[in-house]
Amino acid sequence: MNAIELARAIPKAELHIHIEGSLEPELIFQLAQRNAVSLAYPSVDALRAAYAFTDLQSFLDIYYAGASVLLTAQDFHDMAWAYFLCAKADHVIHAELFFDPQTHTARGVPMAAVIEGLRSACRQAETELGISSALILCFLRHLSEEEAFATLEAALPFREHFIGVGLDSSERGHPPSKFQRVFARCRELGLKLVAHAGEEGPPAYMREAIDLLKVQRIDHGVAVMQDAALMEELARSRMPLTVCPLSNLKLCVVKDLREHPLKKMLDAGLCATVNSDDPAYFGGYMNANFEQTVQALNLSRDDVVQLAKNSFEASFISEERRRACLAELERVMAR
């Protein structure tokens, strides 16, 4: 079995997937029809043709428009269930899903519809597909910290249904420090903490996320390549970085996948993982990310296994579940 075949077959965890970014154009049109929402594009093909991004913001504009078809708990369930079926095909055995409640509550969708719809898909994934999962509520960083506090308040009645909070949306000009107080409150509440940093922003934003927000993982973090001291610190502390290669390519963070820093990150001892970010928009789910990255960077079988191990090391799962995931990895490798 070569490295690509191995990458396809091994069990893995996905830790950086915006569930709204898994909405395929076909499902967007189905839900638009179901909910009588009008779309700016006349057809599935026309919508897909608009997926030519120049940077993060050019993507986010289309991503938020796509999410406008989600209204009911059933919609959120259907979206997440479609994702779990793709995850199963790619041998994802654990997934931590980001969701952006502000995108929905701003349109009058109740927080309960968002969270209960997603939770029911998570439960079904556990019982029918054997995939464990958890939800992470993301604050939109282009909005104010006050709005983040209001969102946290609205979500607290559903506290047992999400394990942590994250920070996403437009990075440049919205440093982690803007959300220091709300993250401190989330920490008091016992929530896990993650944040997007160093996707388009500078390594200084990664430092802020760690020092000021006290995050336990950094989403993306490819800007670590610009700061050798930071790289050394993060390798020593095994701070996980949830890297998304196809996203970085589609949003022009890298010009060519062959220039992606993932291999250098692994060689430096960083706890880097591979993830799909917004698979419906960036050209593929987990295995597409693995296959294309292994090919472009000539990753070895050992690199591939390290990436899978890192994904379980970085997961917010019980030690018992971690042992089971690692045992499953060993079982598949022995085959």
Summarize as ranges the residues that interact with ligand ADE (CB under 6 A).
18, 21, 56, 63, 168-169, 196, 199, 247, 277-278
Tell me the C-alpha distance between 124 and 91, whole Å.
17
Distance from CA of residue 259 to its chain's centroid? Answer: 22
> To the nearest whole angstrom, how small is the minimum distance from the Cβ of residue 260 to Zn ion?
16
Q: Which residue number, 2 or 54, has a Cβ lying nearer to ligand ADE?
A: 54
Tell me the C-alpha distance between 220 and 147, whole Å.
24
Select the span of 64-72, 128-136, 269-277, 287-295 touching Zn ion (CB under 5 A).
269-277
> To the nearest whole angstrom, how small is the minimum distance from the Cβ of residue 136 to ligand ADE?
12
Tell me the C-alpha distance between 163 and 137, whole Å.
8
Residue 77 vs residues 24, 53, 113, 148: alpha-carbon distances, Å = 14, 28, 9, 24
Taking CB under 5 A as the rule, does residue 328 contact Zn ion?
A: no
> To the nearest whole angstrom, how small is the minimum distance from the Cβ of residue 56 to ligand ADE?
6
> To the nearest whole angstrom, how small is the minimum distance from the Cβ of residue 274 to Zn ion?
13
Q: Which residue number, 192 or 220, has a Cβ lying nearer to ligand ADE?
A: 220
Decide which of ligand ADE, Zn ion, none touches 21; Cβ closer than 5 to 8 Å per partner kind.
Answer: ligand ADE
Q: Which residue number, 56 or 186, has a Cβ lying nearer to ligand ADE?
A: 56
Decide which of ligand ADE, Zn ion, none touches 199; Cβ closer than 5 to 8 Å per partner kind.
Answer: ligand ADE
Select the span of 45-53, 204-212, 271-279, 285-293 touching Zn ion (CB under 5 A).
271-279
Inter-residue contact 230 to 205 (CB < 8 Å): no
Catalytic residue, chosen from 14, 199, 208, 328, is: 199
Inter-residue contact 281 to 59 (CB < 8 Å): yes
Decide which of ligand ADE, Zn ion, none touches 198; Cβ closer than 5 to 8 Å per partner kind.
Answer: none
Residue 66's identity, in one-letter code, is G
Q: Which of 171, 208, 277, 303 binds Zn ion (CB under 5 A)?
A: 277
32, containing H or E segment: helix 25-35
CA dihedral 82, 86, 89, 93 (to 10 degrees): -90
Q: Is 288 left (phi over 0), alpha (psi -120 to 50) or beta?
A: alpha
Tell me the C-alpha distance between 185 and 222, whole Å.
28
> To the nearest whole angstrom, how small is the minimum distance from the Cβ of residue 247 to ligand ADE?
5
Q: Which residue number, 96 or 277, has a Cβ lying nearer to Zn ion?
A: 277
Inter-residue contact 57 to 168 (CB < 8 Å): no
Task: Assess whether 199 carries a catalytic annotation.
Answer: yes
Tell me the C-alpha distance between 143 and 311, whole Å.
30
Which residue ranges make up the site for Zn ion (CB under 5 A)?
277
Active site residues: 199
